[in-house]
Structure 1
Amino acid sequence: MNKLIIANWKMYYGPVKAGAWVRAFRRERLPKDLDIGIAVPSVSLAAARASLGRATIPALCAQNVFWEKEGAYTGEISPTMLVEFGVSLCLVGHSERRRYLGETDDMTAKKAAALQKAGIVPVVCVGETEVERKKKQTKSIIKKQVAKAVADLKPDGRAPAVIAYEPVWAIGSGKPCDPVMAKEAHDVIRDVIGSAWGPRIKDEIRIIYGGSVTDRNIHAYMTTTGIDGALVGGASLDPRTFALLCRSAVPA
């Protein structure tokens, strides 16, 4: 299975800039053996889709979703709405949503299950804070987060989710997690998946790393066994820089 690199724009780029980014990125030389996604703010999904046209690279990814199909949930967006935009992936449980908006493990699990039911692959974000790491709670934290997030997902003949390990202390800090340390966390996640869904999906599911990923360190992650890709924040905001990162991930 190909490695997966997802650009997470966070709260950047309205429709005009989103469309320009996609058009510029599509002009770049990209590796053939790499899956690429862009996580776009909801207000820019239509513009990104229009600029993509019929192209499937990069795949369109949403940054958030609500777990109901419709209803009196002002400001939310449903999985069925995302389907209309041609979204194929969606982030859930990102640490910034947990921190600033009170997103819980229960909410993350509901969102992941609703996405799967709609045919969208949930990208489940998990990771420990700096305090939790110093207290040596990394394993217990990510075990709990992953087990809860996948509890209501159903293995349906293919890997039913992507898991993104994002240590909170590394996000936007300029201090990325050492690839060996990241691999240790990925191994814990894979064991939880194996207990939930068995050895086949344990081996097939893609577990990606996020946290201060750049074109300078991406190759180290991609060549570390057990790391299947990356969720990229700041380094994805410029289409040329992100394209360079993608090329560095899978050099010719």
Structure 2
Amino acid sequence: MRKLIIANWKMHYGPVKAGAWIRAFRRERLPKEIDIGVAVPHTSLAAARSSLGRAGVPLLGAQNSFWEKEGPYTGETSPTMLAEFGVEFCLVGHSERRTHLGETDEMVAKKAVALQKAGIQPVICVGESEEAHKNGEAEKVIKAQMKAALAQGVKATGSAPLVVAYEPIWAIGTRKPCSPQNAREMHEVIREVIAKKFSKKVAQDVRILYGGSIDERTVAEYLSTTGIDGVLIGGASLDPRVFGLLCRSAAPA
């Protein structure tokens, strides 16, 4: 299975800076053995697509979507609209949206299904809070999030196959990364839920990423850990040169 590295810019970079980032990143010496994607703000999708042209690296992604094609949903963006920009994947259920905007497991599930219908790969984000982590409830939380995410009919395989990103909230931007061993254990929990919903074979084919305080010095250790199929990078992706270095560090030796 090819590893997948995704840059999540979060709320950074308007169209001008987005285009400059893409152009600078494409000048980096990028490994061909891994898949690379960048999730940009909606306002920067056109500029990013223009700078990418027909290039396949990096893959263009969005950070959120709605579950309806159109309608009276002020401020929302539909999967079909994203598809017009050539968006290939989209994050759903990121902890920052769950925390600050009240996004629920049901919303996440509906968004994932709608994205797949539009031919866009959903990257479902799950992760436990620091309180749940300290109380030994991480596994319980992750199982509940995953079961809910799969409850609305999302497909694990197909033309827009499911991707899952495990991002423990307590590790995001805190310089307190979850250890590779701990991440592996939680990835096993996620894969177990997928296997029960579909099959063991299908579960083995779903890419599960880890995210949370990863940089170019630590990425190789995570990706060499069994069961970790890629990484979701936040702050370390804002500098195209640093992200290029991180991608090279992630390539198999």
Which whole-Å CA distance do the structure 2 matches of 1:190 and 1:200 have between them?
A: 10
What residue ranges of structure 1 are gaps of 5+ in the alignment?
none
Query: Does the CA contact (< 8 Å) of 1:6 and 1:230 recur in 2?
Result: yes
1:27 is matched with which residue? 27
Give the CA deviation at 1:96: 0.1
Cα deviation digits, residues 58-103 of structure 1 (max 9, x gap)? 0001000000000011110000001000001000000000000000
Query: Does the CA contact (< 8 Å) of 1:159 and 1:204 recur in 2?
Result: no
Query: Does the CA contact (< 8 Å) of 1:62 and 1:89 recur in 2?
Result: yes
- Superposed, 1:26-105 pairs within 5 Å as 26-105=26-105
Which whole-Å CA distance do the structure 2 matches of 1:155 and 1:227 have between them?
A: 17
- Superposed, 1:1-252 pairs within 5 Å as 1-151=1-151, 152-157=153-158, 160-252=161-253
Give the CA deviation at 1:154: 2.6
CA RMSD in angstroms comes to 1.0
| Distance change in 2, residues 1:90/1:240 (3 Å) | same
Query: Does the CA contact (< 8 Å) of 1:158 and 1:201 recur in 2?
Result: no
> Helix, strand or coil for the counterpart of 2:10?
coil
Deviating more after overlay: 27-36 vs 150-159: 150-159
> Helix, strand or coil for the counterpart of 2:161?
coil
Give the CA deviation at 1:174: 1.0
> Helix, strand or coil for the counterpart of 2:125?
strand
What residue ranges of structure 2 are gaps of 5+ in the alignment?
none
Give the CA deviation at 1:251: 4.8
Cα deviation digits, residues 147-204 of structure 1 (max 9, x gap)? 1112221345467310000000000001111000000000000000000111221111
Which whole-Å CA distance do the structure 2 matches of 1:149 and 1:39 have between them?
A: 20
Which whole-Å CA distance do the structure 2 matches of 1:191 and 1:159 have between them?
A: 21
Query: Does the CA contact (< 8 Å) of 1:159 and 1:205 recur in 2?
Result: no
Query: Does the CA contact (< 8 Å) of 2:166 and 2:211 recur in 1?
Result: yes
User: What is the identity, as a one-letter code, of the residue corresponding to 2:25?
Assistant: F
Identity over the aligned pairs, expressed in percent?
A: 66
| Distance change in 2, residues 1:157/1:75 (3 Å) | closer
Which whole-Å CA distance do the structure 2 matches of 1:220 and 1:158 have between them?
A: 30
Deviating more after overlay: 151-160 vs 16-25: 151-160
Which whole-Å CA distance do the structure 2 matches of 1:160 and 1:37 have between them?
A: 15
Number of residue pairs aligned between Structure 1 and Structure 2: 252
> Helix, strand or coil for the counterpart of 1:60?
strand
Query: Does the CA contact (< 8 Å) of 2:15 and 2:46 recur in 1?
Result: yes
> Helix, strand or coil for the counterpart of 2:209?
strand
**What is the TM-score of this pair, normalised by structure 1?**
0.98
Which whole-Å CA distance do the structure 2 matches of 1:189 and 1:155 have between them?
A: 13
